[in-house]
């Protein structure tokens, strides 16, 4: 009997599921090892009988919490799929403001706007959260979006009882192997010294700053790429504070959050 896999989505752009829906050869090999029993983007049928739940998106509403808890009860293994599920996503930045402020930012302050969006349950909720702030999560596949090859490797590892091969060293390591000119050398700022590798450093390789979409290494104050930090007179805290598009969860934590 093949293990049964079900995909679920919460607050997200669904781009991570698309990485699987747009099947390529490497993923097809993996999908052949399992039975997909629920996947809204590609099939109409949906079953509550599954072994592995692959969950995309952040948790914002009470109804999301209840739904996620039921998924957790049903699944032997629950995987947080992509940055929204892993860290709360870009939308977590909205936690900085009150629901009323977010509503005004979206709908403006014109006459009548106080009623606009009243049927949008998002505005009832002050916070976006990652999955592991609500239920136990067994594995994380990081990235915005997830990397197809990594998804395949992680699923094969889980299915064969091995530890998923998610690196716990910084993007700088992969970037330096590619002999890129460092972003700091050209006056830009980069989160590579703290960001978790495994993506192959595509952003600095293409001339863009790493934004840390895969989150930080597990102990950034110890595992940061100290050579780069020292060269540019930076500390791990400097990097953490400077940008937060994907990493606002760490800022909340430093302020006494979860």
Binding site for ligand SF4 (CB under 6 A): 12-16, 56, 82-84, 89, 144-145, 171-172, 175-176, 180, 182-184, 190, 192-193, 195, 199, 201-204, 210-214, 228
How many CB atoms within 10 Å of residue 72? 17
Q: Which is nearer to ligand SF4, 49 or 219 (CB)?
A: 219
- How far from 186 is each of 54, 88, 190, 208, 229, CA to CA, in Å? 40, 31, 11, 11, 15
To ligand SF4, the closest distance from the beta carbon of 93 in angstroms equals: 12
**Pairing assessment for the beta strands 35-38 and 139-141 based on DSSP bridges:** unpaired
Token match 């530890």: residue?
163
Q: Which is nearer to ligand SF4, 41 or 114 (CB)?
A: 41
To ligand SF4, the closest distance from the beta carbon of 171 in angstroms equals: 5
Hey, is 58 helix, strand or coil? Answer: strand
To ligand SF4, the closest distance from the beta carbon of 7 in angstroms equals: 12
Q: Which is nearer to ligand SF4, 56 or 64 (CB)?
A: 56
To ligand SF4, the closest distance from the beta carbon of 184 in angstroms equals: 6
Could you tell me the two tokens for 193? 């010294």
Dist CA 70 CA 146 (whole Å): 24
Q: Which is nearer to ligand SF4, 35 or 171 (CB)?
A: 171
Q: Identify the DSSP state of 182.
A: P
To ligand SF4, the closest distance from the beta carbon of 150 in angstroms equals: 11
Q: Which is nearer to ligand SF4, 52 or 210 (CB)?
A: 210
Residue at shortest CB range from ligand SF4: 192
Dist CA 65 CA 157 (whole Å): 29
To ligand SF4, the closest distance from the beta carbon of 109 in angstroms equals: 28
Question: What is the 3-class SS of 4-32, one letter each residue?
Answer: EEEEEECECCCHHHHHHHCCCHHHHHHHC
Q: Which is nearer to ligand SF4, 114 or 168 (CB)?
A: 168
Quick one: which of 45, 37, 63 has its CA closest to 54? 37
Q: Identify the DSSP state of 81.
A: E
């Amino acid at each position: 009997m093949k293990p049964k896999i079900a995909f679920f989505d919460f607050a997200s752009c669904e781009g991570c599921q698309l990485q699987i829906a747009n099947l390529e050869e490497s993923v097809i090999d993996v999908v052949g090892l399992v039975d997909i029993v629920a996947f809204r983007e590609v099939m109409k049928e949906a079953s509550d009988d599954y072994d592995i739940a692959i969950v995309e998106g952040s948790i914002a509403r009470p109804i999301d919490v209840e739904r996620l808890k039921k998924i957790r009860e049903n699944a032997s293994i629950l995987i947080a799929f992509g940055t929204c599920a892993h860290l709360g996503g870009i939308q977590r930045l909205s936690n900085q403001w009150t629901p009323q402020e977010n509503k005004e930012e979206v709908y403006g302050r014109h006459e009548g706007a106080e009623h606009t969006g009243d049927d949008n349950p998002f505005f009832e909720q002050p916070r976006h959260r990652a999955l592991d702030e609500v239920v136990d999560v067994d594995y994380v596949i990081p990235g915005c979006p997830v990397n197809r090859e990594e998804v395949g490797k992680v699923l094969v590892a889980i299915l064969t009882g091995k530890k998923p091969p998610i690196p716990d060293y910084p993007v700088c390591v992969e970037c330096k192997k590619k002999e890129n000119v460092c972003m700091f050398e050209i006056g830009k700022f980069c989160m590579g010294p703290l960001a978790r590798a495994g993506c192959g450093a595509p952003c600095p390789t293409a001339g863009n700053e790493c934004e840390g979409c895969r989150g930080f290494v597990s102990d950034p104050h110890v595992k940061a790429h100290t050579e780069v930090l020292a060269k540019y007179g930076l500390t791990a805290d400097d990097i953490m504070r400077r940008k937060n598009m994907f990493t606002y969860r760490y800022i909340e934590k430093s302020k006494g959050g979860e």
